[in-house]
Structure 1
């Protein structure tokens, strides 16, 4: 159910990253350009990425750059 919630959020955002915990979206980063890029400012993106990483760390221990590592593996 949480995976479906995350997927639906990413679809709604037109691509991006999402953290779901306890049945709620904790943080998401819309990346509407090919699912990889944003039209936001660098400052806004930095803040959103920090929030996304903080939300992910609430789920348990993670490497320093979990989203970059997942992208590399895919």
Structure 2
């Protein structure tokens, strides 16, 4: 988990800003990756729940950009 607020994005991956425009079958959604990393910056660890933005992996061409109820509860507990 980044303690200094920095986010890491692997340059070796194919990143897409818009999956409807990017045609690569191995593209990763950049907004989803950023949301995942923001979850870590806010203090969340990886989650075992597939619906969580901090689930450890995201498949090619998948989007996950909304914190689920458990993500929100975890963040609220950290900041209460």
TM-score by length of 1: 0.32
Between 1 and 2, higher relative CO (CA 8 Å, sep ≥ 6) is seen in 2
Bigger helix share: 1
Larger radius of gyration: 2
Bigger strand share: 1
TM-score by length of 2: 0.30
